[in-house]
Amino acid sequence: MENEFLFKKLSNQYQNIPASFVRSILNVAGKKELISFAGGLPNPDLFPVDELSESAKIVMNRSGRDILQYAGSLGYYPLRQWIANRYSSKYNMDITPEMVVITNGSQQVIDIMAKLFIDKGDGVILEKPSYLGAIQALSAYQPNFCEVDLGKDGADMVGIESFFLNGDVKMMYAVPNAQNPSGISYSLEKRQDLALLLKKYNQFLLEDDPYNEICFEGEFPVPVKKLAPDHVAWTGSFSKMVAPGLRNGWVILPPELVPHFDKAKQSTDLNPNNLTQYVLHHFLTHYDLDAHLKKVQMKYADQCCFMQEMLSKYLPEEITFIQPSGGMFLWLTLPEGICSKELVNRTMERGVIFVPGNSFYVNREKSNHIRLNFSNANFQDIEKGIKVIGEELQKELKQITVSCS
């Protein structure tokens, strides 16, 4: 290698960041057309393109000069106010705009929270499986990951308490609504138990809630933030509600933490994008967001339901999955002995990809789970893709039977 000296200089913290499976597999697959259940992409047919175009035109004409200048690092005040109002009213909470900070998607919240709390070796509790982007962001700070199992109604509270008792935990990270990748939502009881534990042990939770508005029927239970406001940073995103290309998310913090989060964030990129903040605020205050969300929820519920039908039609009976109440993913459990990473190599040759379960574990150990995204594929591709996965699975199962007999 020509520039070998450069690679010798790479930091330990950087080298601790795991690669993204989706990116690696796309590099291997090259440019050929794929049916992808791998990414976590919203359905672009649902983007309110015309409305956002109109909003962009109006705000640039009205406030162009302000939009184009440097701005406050906490974000555009009216947008912070809109967020405070919506969630205060949705959950009967007392959120002020001063508690809200706008970020580059909720991904940036994870990075900044880690910067704020995690020195090398500090304990961070994670659900197992957990969101790959969180594992990546946190890994850059070289924490000691403490994984707790996820049951059908949320994380294992005994596991959490034993880590809290241990004493060197700085933070817990969790996605209580329609978790990525498992689709699991915490029951109200689990949320209450977690809130009690946080208070009892003076611990802190980063509650990541990107799918809050993508619930297929009714609403998710209240956020843990409501139950233990001083002990939770609650982060949300416009990526799934409106559109991810705008790159705007937010976090609702205990008020005393705001100046610290702000200082850590300033050092990374000064302030969030003004144009998209103004556009979003105009869109949210001039169009019917709830009607838009209704469309998204119904469409995703349909896509989810159809994918489940196809799974029943084309996959062996032994495969189980959790019925998600929202979000964008199905999490399958394959029979013991099947390696989902080997499976994806086979299906990829036939033009179908998904994310094997080991990507969502800190130690990347072998896994018989797979994550399927249902929000960004049409019915035809869903049927075609699931059929291919089913056929390749059958082959794998036969091999297992043969080698066992």
Which residues between 190 and 249 bind a second copy (CB under 8 A)? Answer: 202-204, 230, 239, 243-247
Binding to a second copy, residues 65-104 (CB under 8 A): 65-71, 103-104
Q: Does position 385 bind a second copy by CB under 8 A?
A: no
- Alpha helices by DSSP H, 328-378: 340-349
171 binds a second copy (CB under 8 A): yes
> SS in 3 state form for 199-262?
HHCCCCEEEECCCCCCECCCCCCCCHHHHCHHHEEEEEEHHHHCCHHHCCEEEECCHHHHHHHH
| # of chain residues touching a second copy (CB under 8 A) | 86
Nearer to a second copy, 17 or 322 (CB): 17
**What is d(CA 101, CA 249) in angstroms, rounded to the nearest whole number?**
9
Where in 277-296 is the site for a second copy (CB under 8 A)? 279
Return the SS3 of 8: helix
What is the token pair recorded at 301? 């519920």
Shortest distance (Å) from residue 151 CB to a second copy: 28
Shortest spacing between CB 229 and a second copy, in angstroms: 10
Report the residue number, 69 or 403, with the smaller CB distance to a second copy. Answer: 69
- CA atoms of 190 and 185, how far apart (whole Å): 10
Give the chain's count of helices (H) and strands (E).
16, 14
What distance in Å separates the CA atoms of residue 333 and residue 214, rounded to the nearest whole number? 24
Q: Does 121 bind a second copy (CB under 8 A)?
A: no
Of 24 and 320, which CB lies nearer to a second copy in the complex structure?
A: 24
Q: How far is the CB of 319 from a second copy (least distance, A)?
A: 29
CB nearer a second copy, residue 122 or residue 391: 122
Q: Does 269 bind a second copy (CB under 8 A)?
A: yes
Of 4-63, which residues contact a second copy (CB under 8 A)?
5-7, 9-14, 17, 19-20, 23, 39, 41-42, 44, 47, 49-50, 52-53, 56-57, 60-61
- Of 29, 93, 140, 222, the one binding a second copy (CB under 8 A) is 140
Decide whether 61 or 363 has the Cβ nearer to a second copy.
61
Q: CA 145 to CA 147: how far, in whole Å?
A: 6
- What is the crossing angle of helices 379-404 and 289-314, to 10°? 40
User: 296 by DSSP, 3-state: which?
Assistant: helix
Instruction: Judge contact between 382 and 374, C-beta under 8 A.
Output: yes
Composition of the chain by helix, strand, coil, percent to 5: 50, 15, 35
Compute the least distance from the CB of residue 75 to a second copy, in Å. 12
Please say which residue, 244 or 357, places its beta carbon nearer to a second copy: 244
- In this structure, are residues 152 and 100 in contact, taking their beta carbons and an 8 Å threshold? no
Considering the rule CB under 8 A, would residue 108 count as an interface residue with a second copy?
A: yes
Q: Provide, rounded to whole angstroms, the least separation between the CB of residue 112 and a second copy.
A: 9
Q: What would the x/- binding string for a second copy be over residues 318 to 357, using CB under 8 A? A: ----------------------------------------
Residue from 179, 276, 368, 375 touching a second copy (CB under 8 A): that is: 276
CB nearer to a second copy: give 17 or 397.
Answer: 17
Query: How far is residue 244 from each of residues 41, 44, 147, 215, measured CA to CA in Å?
Result: 8, 10, 29, 18
CB 101 within 8 A of CB 95: no
